[in-house]
């Protein structure tokens, strides 16, 4: 199964996928490309270090959203992927993209959906909201992407304890280590082995 991974930041989820393909946790899968909207994303360095083709397609380089959407879609199409993985990708997904690849786009969100998700909930903001609400358990979710924000069918979730004294940064790190970096590779392996939304 050929996958494209879309990134915007540090790329720790990308790194988990690279490592779990290498150690056989993820079967029958090859990362054929990494696409970032941010030319400074350390995820691009991780891709280069792993010898993976990467491309930066930034909305800033296009005069309007439609032109960016078209360029993004063409970039994805060129890799001819079986699956697209959004791993910390902070770009509004074009409707045409969801239609073209329905059932073949997955996303990792750093909470137990339906909590702390939807518009405005990304990165540290998710963990700030969880701490503000005082939840004792949070976690991460892998889901298929549909036209909404964090609304597609859920594939896997994993719970993580909130601990006294947690800051958003400490909680984010624990959710990454104990949940994201485990369930995103696991979901890719499930799909490589034939898992589909019924």
Binding site for ligand GRF (CB under 6 A): 7, 9-14, 43, 87-88, 108, 110, 123, 172, 180
**Helix segments in the chain, DSSP class H:** 12-22, 42-49, 65-79, 95-100, 124-133, 168-175, 181-192
Q: How would you classify the pairing of strands 2-7 and 83-86?
A: parallel
Neighbours of 169 (CB within 10 A): 11
Q: Give CA–CA dist 2/79, Å, rounded.
A: 8
When the beta carbons of 17 and 76 are compared against ligand GRF, the nearer one is 17
Measured from each CB, the residue nearest to ligand GRF is: 88
Q: Are 183 and 80 in contact (CB under 8 A)?
A: no
CB of 42 to ligand GRF, least distance (A): 8
Alpha carbon 17 to chain centroid distance? 11
When the beta carbons of 81 and 143 are compared against ligand GRF, the nearer one is 143
When the beta carbons of 29 and 127 are compared against ligand GRF, the nearer one is 127
When the beta carbons of 74 and 139 are compared against ligand GRF, the nearer one is 139
- Among candidate residues 5, 52, 97, 109, the one labeled active-site is 109
CB of 54 to ligand GRF, least distance (A): 14
Q: What is the DSSP letter of 180?
A: I
Active site residue 127: no
CB of 112 to ligand GRF, least distance (A): 12
Q: Which residues carry out catalysis?
A: 109
């Amino acid at each position: 199964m050929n996958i494209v991974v879309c990134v915007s930041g540090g790329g720790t989820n990308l790194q988990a996928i690279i490592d779990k393909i290498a150690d056989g946790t993820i079967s029958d899968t090859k990362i054929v490309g990494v696409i970032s909207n941010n030319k400074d994303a350390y995820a691009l360095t991780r891709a280069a270090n792993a010898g993976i083709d990467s491309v930066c397609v930034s909305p800033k380089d296009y005069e309007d959203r439609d032109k960016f959407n078209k360029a993004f879609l063409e970039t994805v199409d060129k890799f001819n992927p079986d699956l697209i993985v959004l791993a910390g990708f902070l770009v509004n997904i074009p409707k045409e993209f969801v239609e073209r690849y329905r059932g073949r786009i997955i996303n990792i969100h750093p909470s137990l959906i339906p909590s702390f998700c939807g518009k405005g909930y990304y990165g540290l903001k998710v963990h700030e909201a969880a701490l503000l609400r005082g939840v004792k358990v949070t976690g991460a979710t892998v889901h298929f992407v549909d036209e909404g924000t964090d609304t597609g069918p859920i594939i896997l979730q994993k719970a993580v304890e909130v601990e006294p004294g947690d800051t958003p940064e400490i909680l984010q790190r624990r959710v990454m280590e104990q949940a994201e970096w485990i369930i995103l590779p696991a979901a890719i392996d499930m799909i490589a082995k034939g898992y589909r939304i019924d």
